[in-house]
Structures are given as C-alpha cells and as structure tokens.
A and B are shown apart, each in its own frame.
Chain A
Amino acid sequence: MTAMRTGTLGRTPYYVLTGGLAIIFLFPLLWSLAASVSPQASTGQVNGLGLGNYTTLFNYGAGLVRFLLNSAYVALLTVAITLAVSTLGGYAFARFRFPGREALFLLTLSILMVPYATVLIPLYVLLNGFGLQNSLIGLSLVLAMFQLPFATYMMRISFEAVPRELEESAQVDGCGTFSVLWRILLPSVRPGLITVGLFAFLAAWSDFLAPLILLTDSTKQTLPLAVANLRQQTMGAIDYGATEAGVVVMAIPCLILFLLLQRYYVRGFMSGAVKG
C-alpha cells in the first residue's frame, strides 16, 4: 500500500535494508556450516576443508547413530501420541456434548500457563513410580503432554470446520462412530493433522530441558543433550568444530521439514493468533 506511492528509486533503501536483514538472519546458519568443515587446531579437522569433525561426532560416546536414533524415536513417538490423543480429544470436544466439556478444554489449554520446570521435577518422581524413569517412552509421553494444548485446540477447530452432513450421510450408509472418524473425518482434517504433527516433531526433536532432567543413561541421550555434553568432554581443549558439526546435524531435519511444510506451519499460527 505504501509501496505504490514510492517509485523504483525510492525502493533502493528498502532493498538495502531487507537485504541486510536477510544476511543477518542467514549468516549464523551459514557460518556454522562453514565452521563444521573448516580446519581448526585441536579438533578432528586440523588442516584443509573436510569432514573430520563429523568423524569425531560420529564416534562420540555411544555413537552419533545411537543418538540420532534416540532423537528420531522420541520425536516420532511424540508425534504419534500427540496425534492420537489430540484427534480423539479434538473430535470429542467438537462433536459430543458431555458435562464439563468446556471446563476440561480450558484445563487442557491451561497446560500452557504452567512453567515447564514446575511440572518436570514432580514428573521425574512420578515416572520413577511408574518404572518409566530414564526411558524414552516416558520422555515422549511428557513431551506429548506439552504439545496437547495447541494440538487439541487445532484439532477441535479442524473438526468443527467439517460439515455435519458429511458424517450424517455416512451414518445413514451404516458407518459406526469410529469408522466415520477413520474414513470420513480424518481425510478432511489432514491439514490440521500435518500442522500438529510438524509442531510436535520440531518441539520433540529439539527439546533440551526434559531429556536433561528425565534421562540419566548416557546411551539414551537425545541429540541436543549428546552434543551439549560432547563439548565439555575433553579436558582443556574444547572441540568447537565437532559442536558445530552437531548443530548442523540437528538443524538439517528441522530446516528441511520447515521448508517443505512451511504452509502448514504458518497455517497453525494463523488459526492460533487470530482467535487469540
């Protein structure tokens, strides 16, 4: 709107400003990529460009593959739990009237208000009680819980947007509640599912505090934890190169997923931010 009035010449400062911003936002990312392959004294890559730091990372502790698998396992399990609970929950909130419906929904949203750390300490004790201490399953359950407010909210509005007639005609044709949910509704709320899954994955993949508190076994560590520990490992000399290599390994799945699914990411925000 403002741009229409200013001519091409007047746009130059705009391009300089926005170009500068783009550089500021990209620079650290590109730098970490460069640093991870650059030579540096007392790292796995002493001279010339190469993948020496990645080798260090690969061989650290229980091995990069182990940590990657741990992270992937936790992230995928969190996504699965979040999707299952929020789909059923969102469907129930959107379609069934039951006593205490709004209260329960508000309670779910109120998870947002409670500090992460406040709940993690008792969860640590609680999971011990269930025999889930130091377990990736326990960790996923906890991470999924923190996804619920957003996920349930998102699924509720997705289900509410599906016309009731669709379900009714399926019921006339002889579908039960669950087969309606499975065959008719799930395909129509797919964008919502993707958004919820994406948020859950990104959060679980990168979470630091929960694994730090809940996991004690070094072979069970997730990637962020392993990389954070790696840097303090060797006495005296700190391996910056391998750390940045770790950053790159952590960042790549997030960046790729984000670029592929950006539309869904922004969508999630639209629905959240407008309704406030």
Chain B
Amino acid sequence: MFVAVFFITPLLLVARMSLSGWPLLTGNGGLNFPKNYLSIWKNALFGPAVVFTIEYTLIVTVLLIGLGLGLALLVQESGRWVNMLRTVILLPVSLGLAAASLLFWGFYSPSIGPISPILEQLGLIHEPISFLGTSLSALLSTSFLIVWKYSGLYMLIFLVGLQAIPDDLFEAAALDGASRIQVFRHITWPLLRPSLALALILCVTGSLLAFDQFYILTKGAPDNSTVTVVQLIYREAFQRQNLGTSAAISIIVLVALLVLNAVQFRYLRSSEPGLKR
C-alpha cells in the first residue's frame, strides 16, 4: 500500500505531467503533447548539461572505483592500525552530502580556504588557486569532494567482495608460485565481479543524478557550465515554474537510467564466472 501510494502514483503522475502544460502555481493546464518534449530540444542548457553530467560521471566513476579497490587491497588484513585506518576512511561517508559540500565550499573559498596559504608558504604558488573559478577547476574540485566523501563506501564494497573469496584459492596460487600480479589478474579480479557490478551501478546512478554538491558549491557557475541534468529539472520546475517540461526531462532521465542499468547488468552478469547465482 505504502509503496503504491508513494511510488506508483508519482510515477504515473510524472508521466501524465510530462504530457501537459503544468505551471507551478496554477496546476494542470491540459494536455499538450508533444510540446514539453519539443521544448527540451530548444532549451539551450539541455545539451551542455547532459555533456557535463556525463563528463562528471566518467571522472568520478573511474576515480572512485579505482581508489575504492586500491584502498580495499591496502586495508585487507585486519590489525589495530588497519582497523583505525578503515574507520578514518569511512568517517566522511557518514557525513551528509550537503554538510560535506558546505564544508568544502569553505575549504575551497579564497577567503578562508587552507590550501592556498599552505602552498604559498611553501613557495609553490604566488596567487591563491581559484578552485571553483573555471569550469574545469570547478569540475575537478567537486570530483575531489565526492571522492573524499565516498571512497570509503566503495572500499567497503570491495572489502566485502575480497573477504568472500575463499582463502584456499590464494594458498593454492602461492603454492603454484604465482606472482602477486598474476594472483590479482587471475583470482582477485575475476572473483570481484559481483562487487564491481554493484559498485559500478551505484556509482554511475549516483553521479548521473548529482545535485547537492553542484547546487551548493557552484550554483552552475561559471556561465552555467556546471549545470547537471537534475539541476536543470529543479530550475525548470521552481525557477521557470514549468512542471510540465521539468517532468518531461525527468522521464528522459528515468528511461536513460533504466536502459543504462539494464545494459550494465547484462554485461556484468553474462561475463561472470559461475560462482554466484
């Protein structure tokens, strides 16, 4: 029941809305298909937002999966020091994304940010770095924030995956004289596929839907070059007060994500060695 009311109804409603003229304040204005969808193509921000979101997703996914796996390998064996390290790396995960974004908003700011003064003291730079000033630096700075906050999460996913690999496989490989790289390539990597699938789907979905971090850090600046698709949905609905087109963009995102996840799932499942169901 609960699921039906809060999930199915909104889905149907958003589909209905995407077909209608629906200003924020006056409510349903009647069917107007396909006007909303056509207007998306005319929206000058839509193309750049899609491109930017994809760029951001690629960067973040590569970094997070790489780092997550690296960290997991690094903290694999338990011990007092390693357990402490795990906790430290996991701490930012428990922080809210909005809180983390606000933290870094100050951290990157020219007036109180600590990085530029430190580098200036060391004589490495002569002017403060503008972390959010250009579209490239804003993209990289935001990616750093996300990597800082979430790599613990991916470390955990891979750690669980690593621990699910039976120890005798490693012992057998050691007996056969396999090098560390060989062990990784032929045992660890293939058996980590289920974890990799989970991490990839979580990461891609999460980054494509990025909102908080950009809303707080850049507000789309400079020159609307860091507007993500979800930001566009938000702006369309609450600044331009047009729920219809906003819903239409939502539908496009929804369909794109479903297709993408289905493809990822297929691909990762089909090439998986038959250990897991």
Interface residues of A (CB under 8 A from B): 1-3, 15, 17-18, 21-22, 24-26, 28-29, 31-32, 35, 38, 40, 85, 104, 107-108, 111, 113-119, 121-126, 141-142, 145, 148, 202, 205-209, 212-213, 224-225, 227-228, 231, 238, 240-241, 243-244, 246-247, 250-251, 254-255, 257-259, 262, 265-266, 269-270, 272-274, 276
Selected interface stretch from B38-46, B58-66, B128-136, B251-259: B251-259
Given contact pairs A122-B17, A125-B243, A209 touches B10 in the complex (Cβ within 8 A): no
Is B102 a contact partner of A255 (Cβ separation < 8 A)?
no
Contact among A26, A121, A225 with B247 in the assembled complex (CB-CB below 8 Å): A121
Contact among B10, B109, B261 with A123 in the assembled complex (CB-CB below 8 Å): B10
Is A1 a contact partner of B109 (Cβ separation < 8 A)?
no
Q: Which residues of B contact A208 (CB under 8 A)?
A: 96-98, 211-212, 215-216
Give B178 Cβ to nearest chain A Cβ, in Å. Answer: 12
Is B88 a contact partner of A28 (Cβ separation < 8 A)?
no
Assess whether B57 is interfacial by the CB under 8 Å rule: no
Give A58 Cβ to nearest chain B Cβ, in Å. Answer: 17
Number of interface residues of B (CB under 8 A): 80
Q: Which residues of B contact A276 (CB under 8 A)?
A: 194-195, 197-198, 276
Is A254 a contact partner of B94 (Cβ separation < 8 A)?
yes
Give B101 Cβ to nearest chain A Cβ, in Å. Answer: 8
Given contact pairs A208-B212, A255-B95, A32 touches B107 in the complex (Cβ within 8 A): yes
Assess whether B99 is interfacial by the CB under 8 Å rule: yes
A1-B174, A29-B95, A257-B94 known, 9 other contacts, Cβ within 8 Å:
A29-B103, A117-B211, A122-B13, A122-B247, A224-B99, A238-B109, A251-B95, A251-B96, A273-B157
Q: Which residues of B contact A32 (CB under 8 A)?
A: 103, 106-107
14 residue pairs from A and B, CB less than 8 Å apart: A1-B76, A1-B77, A18-B85, A40-B112, A116-B209, A117-B211, A122-B11, A122-B14, A125-B17, A202-B94, A202-B96, A224-B96, A250-B98, A251-B99
Is A206 a contact partner of B99 (Cβ separation < 8 A)?
yes
Q: Which residues of B contact A15 (CB under 8 A)?
A: 81
Given contact pairs A107-B3, A119-B14, A121-B247, A269 touches B106 in the complex (Cβ within 8 A): no
Q: Which residues of B contact A2 (CB under 8 A)?
A: 180
Is A123 a contact partner of B6 (Cβ separation < 8 A)?
yes
| Majority DSSP secondary structure for residues of A touching B | helix
Q: Which residues of B contact A270 (CB under 8 A)?
A: 160
Q: When chains A and B are docked, how far (Å) is the Cα of A247 from the Cα of B112? A: 15
Give A91 Cβ to nearest chain B Cβ, in Å. Answer: 14
Given contact pairs A228-B98, A243-B102, A142 touches B85 in the complex (Cβ within 8 A): no
Is B91 a contact partner of A25 (Cβ separation < 8 A)?
yes
Selected interface stretch from B29-37, B119-127, B232-240: B232-240
Q: Which residues of A contact B160 (CB under 8 A)?
A: 269-270, 273-274
Most chain A beta-carbon contacts within 10 A, residue among B87, B88, B114:
B88
Is B156 a contact partner of A266 (Cβ separation < 8 A)?
yes
Assess whether B218 is interfacial by the CB under 8 Å rule: no
Q: Which 6 A-B residue pairings sit nearest by Cβ, starting from the closest?
A: A206-B96, A258-B94, A208-B98, A224-B98, A122-B13, A118-B250
Is A40 a contact partner of B111 (Cβ separation < 8 A)?
yes
Give A210 Cβ to nearest chain B Cβ, in Å. Answer: 11
Q: Which residues of B contact A227 (CB under 8 A)?
A: 98-99, 102
Q: Which residues of B contact A205 (CB under 8 A)?
A: 96
Q: Which residues of A contact B180 (CB under 8 A)?
A: 2
Given contact pairs A28-B107, A262-B87, A273-B198, A206 touches B157 in the complex (Cβ within 8 A): no
Is A121 a contact partner of B90 (Cβ separation < 8 A)?
no
Most chain B beta-carbon contacts within 10 A, residue among A205, A240, A241:
A240
Is B112 a contact partner of A117 (Cβ separation < 8 A)?
no
Assess whether B92 is interfacial by the CB under 8 Å rule: yes
Contact among B76, B212, B243 with A121 in the assembled complex (CB-CB below 8 Å): B243
Assess whether B230 is interfacial by the CB under 8 Å rule: yes
Assess whether B74 is interfacial by the CB under 8 Å rule: yes
Contact among A18, A142, A243, A258 with B106 in the assembled complex (CB-CB below 8 Å): A243
Q: When chains A and B are docked, how far (Å) is the Cα of A111 from the Cα of B90? A: 26
Task: Select from chain A the residue with minimum beta-carbon distance to B67.
Answer: A21
Q: Which residues of A contact B105 (CB under 8 A)?
A: 231, 243
Task: Select from chain A the residue with minimum beta-carbon distance to B14.
Answer: A122
Task: Select from chain A the residue with minimum beta-carbon distance to B77.
Answer: A3
Given contact pairs A121-B14, A262-B87, A35 touches B106 in the complex (Cβ within 8 A): yes
Q: When chains A and B are docked, how far (Å) is the Cα of A40 from the Cα of B251? A: 46
Q: Which residues of A contact B267 (CB under 8 A)?
A: none
Residues of B47-91 at the interface with A, using a CB-CB cut-off of 8 Å, are 71, 74-77, 81-82, 84-85, 87-91
Is B106 a contact partner of A244 (Cβ separation < 8 A)?
yes
Is A115 a contact partner of B104 (Cβ separation < 8 A)?
no
Q: Which residues of B contact A274 (CB under 8 A)?
A: 160-161, 164, 194
Is A119 a contact partner of B11 (Cβ separation < 8 A)?
yes
Is A206 a contact partner of B261 (Cβ separation < 8 A)?
no
Q: Which residues of B contact A243 (CB under 8 A)?
A: 102, 105-106
Contact among A108, A117, A202, A207 with B250 in the assembled complex (CB-CB below 8 Å): A117
